[in-house]
A = this chain, B = another copy of it.
Amino acid sequence: MVSWQSEEALESNCLNPLDPDEFRRQGHMIIDFLADYYKTIEDHPVCSQVKPGYLSNALPRSPPHMPEPLETIIDDIHKHILPGLTHWQSPNFFGYYQINASTAGILGEILCNGLGVLAFSWFASPAATELESLMMEWLGEMLKLPRPFLFSGGGGGVIHGNTCEAIICTLAAARDKVLREIGEENITKLVVYCSDQTHCSFKKAAKIVGINAQNIRAIDTTKVTEFGMCPSSLKQAIVMDIKVGLVPLYLCATVGTTATSAIDPVMELCRVAKEHNVWVHVDAAYAGAACICPEYRGLIDGVELANSLSFNAHKNKPSESKEVIDYKDWQISLSRRFRALKLWLVLRSHGVANLRKHIQSHVRLAKLFEELVGEDDRFEVVCKRNFALVCFRISPSALSKHGLSTGYLSGDASIDNGHIKNGHTVKEPVTSTANINDVNKRLLERINGTGRVLMTHAVVGGVYVIRFAVGATLVKERHVRSAWKLVQGHADAILSDRP
């Protein structure tokens, strides 16, 4: 048999990857899948229970030659992907800092991807550039930023993909400004400053832009300043560097550190830095959003002396810096998505009043947790709570009361990227601090092992603390209360374990 086909018929036999009707049908399926996921999110263990390599054993080693229907893929997501997730959107997720999803944010992303425009220049899609400028003005107003940070005041803002990108861009700008004055050959003399609490992405950024690894100063912090950077220590470091012929370049001050949400004193640090012509970047990745509430705005007082500021607007991270308006020149990548659309949807769908309330409700729940810790004399809050993060532990006195103060540390205890592995064998006597740390490690391991909640830890000033961060969009008082009961229950068990 012989047959002919018109070109049009041949074409329609080929893949039609963006058929509107098929898009509508499959789009509704995915939305329903997600709606059902949020409905039942608490049924999953927060923390994935899979073993390394589980997925490569479950899925084919090679890509399929022919198409598979979405129904099959969704089945596989249920079977193979969901069990391998740590459920960041679960109301029982109290680890790291949350990335709080919202309907408006997700819809904004869908629109941004669905319209599929690039916005590297005004011409490439005027709406994208203009909406981003406007959103940066809106955010600037919400944060009461000084006029020089706004387009209307000669400055301006940009949405970056992440904090590290914001730091690389400002650091490279600061570097080039100074090198134009002192000559490119002096790049090895440039020094940058942060504290021992600054996020590690700062060091990564500094190395990327070619700062000599020996010229990255991490100023020590202590409990005395609640792990905030001490301006006189900064001054001392700068003066010493100048004395040996180095060139102080850039200071990264953090409002809300990753470990304990500590606050570097922006105003005083800016004063020291400005005396020596050092660029100041304020990294408010976590706490910046809280500054839209009047009660927190004071924390970035002094920002008018800084050169740049970046923060995380619930997963949108604008960084305020200098002029122009082909946004490709404001960032690393040439290509850029229409991310302002997401921010616009979020701000309008919630309104400023509700965004404030949302942040305040998280702080209120963290305060509740702090009170619960305070009521149980076996526990202590280790660092001052600033926002919605409580750093706590079983206290040394509780340990000695329970006859564990001269206990033993398991020989194969190890912490690996927040994943705590801890054997049960008891081998050698250790110091009391190590012992307390070990008990708290074991406590966290047991808590997370239940799959009912997820918390993470930090070590500050040698002290192992459990971090309880409130920030999941779906979190309610009952989740906080039952998380605390879980902590207490496991503390009971651990404190009655005699060596």
Q: A20-B35, A34-B114 are in contact. Are A351 and B66 (CB under 8 A)?
A: yes
User: Which residues A93-125 have CB closer than 8 A to chain B?
Assistant: 96, 99-107, 109-111, 113-118, 121-125
Q: What per-residue 1/0 map shows which CB atoms of A169-198 lie under 8 Å from chain B?
A: 000100110000000110110000000000
Query: Are the CB atoms of A103 and B19 closer together than 8 Å?
Result: yes
Q: Does A39 contact B (CB under 8 A)?
A: yes
- Interface flag for A379 (CB, 8 Å): no
In the complex, chain A residues 56-105 whose Cβ is within 8 Å of any chain B Cβ: 56, 59, 61-68, 70, 72-73, 77, 80-89, 96, 99-105
Say yes or no: A84-B14 contact (C-beta < 8 A), given A34-B114, A35-B24: no
**Stretch of A218-226, A276-284, A341-349, A394-402 at the chain-chain interface:** A341-349
Which residues on B sit within 8 Å (CB–CB) of A96? Answer: 118, 124
Could you say which of B18, B77, B354 contacts A111, with CB atoms under 8 Å apart?
Answer: B77
* A interface residues, how many (CB within 8 angstroms): 144
Report A425 CB to chain B, min CB distance, Å: 23
A430 — which chain B residues lie within 8 A by C-beta? none
- A134-175: CB near B (< 8 Å → 1, else 0) gives 100111011000000000000000000111110010001001
- A14–B351 alpha-carbon span in the complex (Å): 12
Q: Looking at the complex, which of A234-242, A302-310, A329-337, A490-498 is the stretch in contact with chain B?
A: A329-337
Contact of A103 among B11, B22, B111 (CB under 8 A): B22
A116 to chain B, nearest CB (A): 4
A4 at interface (Cβ–Cβ under 8 A)? Answer: no
User: By DSSP majority rule, is chain A's interface helix, strand, loop, or mixed?
Assistant: helix
**Binding stretch for chain B, among A381-389, A403-411, A458-466, A472-480:** A472-480
Contact present for B24 and A350 (CB under 8 Å): no
Inter-subunit contact B115/A65 (CB<8 Å): no
Interface centre among A23, A207, A213, A350 (most CB of B within 10 A): A23
Q: List 14 other contacts, CB 8 Å, given A15-B358, A59-B131, A121-B418.
A: A28-B28, A30-B110, A52-B126, A56-B133, A61-B134, A64-B348, A73-B349, A85-B125, A85-B126, A88-B118, A172-B208, A204-B332, A209-B209, A326-B417
